[in-house]
Structure 1
Amino acid sequence: MAGNSQRKGAIRKSGSKKGQQVGTGGHQRRALEGKGPTPKASDRPNHKAYKAKVRAEKEEAKRPQGRTPKAAPRDRTSGSLELVIGRNSTLEALRMGMPAHVLHVFNRIDADDRVTEIVSLAVEQGVEVREVTKGSLDLLSDGTRHQGIALEVPTYEYLQYQDLLDNSDGPARIVALDSIQDPRNLGAIMRSAAAFGATGVVIPERRAAGVTVAAWKVSAGAAARLPVARAVNLVRALEDYKKAGLFVVGLDAGGEVDLHESQLLDGPLVIVVGSEGAGLSRLVRETCDQIVSIPIVATTESLNASVAASIALYEAKRALQA
């Protein structure tokens, strides 16, 4: 009721005023101060990376003192080695005879038929088998699901593009890849190149797929038989091939002639396959002696790079034998 100053709470006492007061500006300064950068995952006790680091440190502490410690698996694979991870991938790699150095197996692995065959093949092929802890495998695989298995394989050794000219079995037949990005396409092209008697494959050193584990697997063992060279400048490599007497034929949907009508396929030859989507780059296209196309029905936009390469390799082999 207005004017009823006798009601409890109707008059606010001076000492009960809420809000800011004189001299309170710095009371919360400490709470507002920054706490510094966020610690690394391996330094946070509740993070799995920290637990893995602790396990690795404990294993290190168990080693006999006075010996020079060997490089950790992660260090050994960071430069000159690659990894095949998982049971199916490792089994497939060993079945096709992929070169390998060390097989890492979880010391408490729940073995099945795949694990049994993996270990058996590794022993037969002279691959060192090591029983390791889960922590070691976690560090080695860098978080990738490993299923208790990891295989160390050497990186691929490339040739110089000039080396592919040395072919004692007949005229050089080289496949040049203009920035193919997918290693599976590279592997499939290597498989076809080996099947149709190509001398080798040349790829750019940069911005292109290399002979990785994925490419090796798709090649179905062709990577062990077919040499692959790298060129710093693909255009320069093609020009050098032309000076050595090879014809350079590029594959493109808008070619000058159909593939089967080309008169350049029966001698020393370089077949150039363009990248997925973009096709041949301008400079590579201008360097080619001839641009050929593979006739397809109008309802199909284009062929996969590896399929186009296979068809061209078949036609080239047929022309050579004619």
Structure 2
Amino acid sequence: MASLDVITDRSDPAVQRIVDVTKPSRSVVKTALIEDPEPLLQSIRAGLGFIEVYGLETTPLPAELLDACQERNIPVRLIGTAVVNQIFKGDKKPKAFGIVRVPKPRGFADLAETTGDLIVLDGVKIVGNIGAIVRTAFALGAGGIVLVDSDLATVADRRLVRASRGYVFSLPVVLATRDEAVAALREAGTRLVSFRADGALSVRDLHDADGRLALLFGSEKTGMSDDFEGLAADSVSIPINPAAESLNVSVSAAIALHERAHRNLPAR
């Protein structure tokens, strides 16, 4: 790729575009900020439409990222240090970032087109945990994720993109109310198994379970809501040291998905 242009003028239209997209509250989210090389690469591979990708004048962009941008005809420019400092001010300055058009929200129809197990997070609100689960779900072949009462307005939330390392765009992640999720799971007929401390089955029993499963994990504080009680076919527990109070929800999801990886990865 030829030498890159450098933005040194604060009045460049791109600068205002970046400032606008970093604002914490926007009524309509049409564009999003993707930060750092790995999430950028993953988002490009997921087929997102980028307006432009930027690097710091003082930090060379990775060759792999430049090649990916060139292959997809994504414009790339560098930004001068003074302008970067004005844009991000007290925030951490990413080594690379891009402005992407937010894709159409995924729905339950998108989940129906996949074959791997589903992850259902009921009331899980800690974005770091959600992001870790998204990344693990993609790595271990899950078909998609349903976020129920997550307090997220969009999967392009800057925190979630960062926490998932950009993998949130690589598999269907559906935002839903409890009523919507219960109705869709009931209509699909997918076997729902809930994870709880006193589950009747051990997580090891999932290894040989036939067909697609929906693995349900409750919130960090209150657990599974009553709305799913009558829908769950089985309850599952993960054996742990009785002196330990519990496992982090992202760790529990990873253990469950590892038990199912022999089925989900070939299907993916």
Who wins on radius of gyration, i.e. which is larger? 1
Give, in whole Å, the separation in 2 of the partners of 1:104 and 1:263: 45
Residue pair 1:96, 1:221 contacting (<8 A) in 2 also: yes
What aligned pairs does 1:35-114 form with structure 2 within 5 A after superposition?
59=11, 72-73=16-17, 74-75=19-20, 79-84=29-34, 89-98=35-44, 99=48, 100-104=50-54, 109=57, 111-112=58-59, 114=60
Q: Which residue of 2 aligns with 1:5?
A: none
What aligned pairs does 1:108-147 form with structure 2 within 5 A after superposition?
109=57, 111-112=58-59, 114-115=60-61, 120=66, 124=70, 126-130=73-77, 137=84, 140-141=87-88, 143-146=90-93
Q: Which residue of 1 aligns with 2:6?
A: none
Give, in whole Å, the separation in 2 of the partners of 1:173 and 1:147: 34
Q: Which residue of 2 aligns with 1:267?
A: 211
2:126 counterpart letter in structure 1 = D
Matched, 1:202 2:146: yes
Normalising to structure 2: TM-score of the pair? 0.71
- Selected match of 2:129 from 185, 189, 192: 185
Cα distance 1:146–1:162, how it changes in 2: closer, same or farther (>3 A)?
A: same
Amino-acid identity (%):
26
1:253 counterpart letter in structure 2 = A
Matched, 1:258 2:199: no
What aligned pairs does 1:168-247 form with structure 2 within 5 A after superposition?
170=115, 173-204=117-148, 206-208=150-152, 210-220=155-165, 222-231=167-176, 233-247=177-191
Q: Which runs of 4+ in 1 moved over 6 A?
A: none
Give, in whole Å, the separation in 2 of the partners of 1:223 and 1:313: 17
Deviation of residue 173 (structure 1)? 2.2
What aligned pairs does 1:6-21 form with structure 2 within 5 A after superposition?
none
- CA deviations over 1:6-42 (Å, ceiling 9, x no partner): xxxxxxxxxxxxxxxxxxxxxxxxxxxxxxxxxxxxx
Cα distance 1:302–1:149, how it changes in 2: closer, same or farther (>3 A)?
A: same
Deviation of residue 299 (structure 1)? 1.8
Give, in whole Å, the separation in 2 of the partners of 1:70 and 1:152: 9
Higher relative contact order (CA 8 A, sep 6+): 2
2:174 counterpart letter in structure 1 = A
Question: Aligned residue pairs: how many?
Answer: 245
Deviation of residue 175 (structure 1)? 1.1
Normalising to structure 1: TM-score of the pair? 0.61
1:280 counterpart letter in structure 2 = M
Give, in whole Å, the separation in 1 of the partners of 2:112 and 2:62: 44
Cα distance 1:135–1:291, how it changes in 2: closer, same or farther (>3 A)?
A: same
Alignment RMSD: 3.8
Q: Which residue of 1 aligns with 2:248?
A: 304
Residue pair 1:201, 1:227 contacting (<8 A) in 2 also: yes
Deviation of residue 236 (structure 1)? 3.6
Give, in whole Å, the separation in 1 of the partners of 2:64 and 2:208: 47
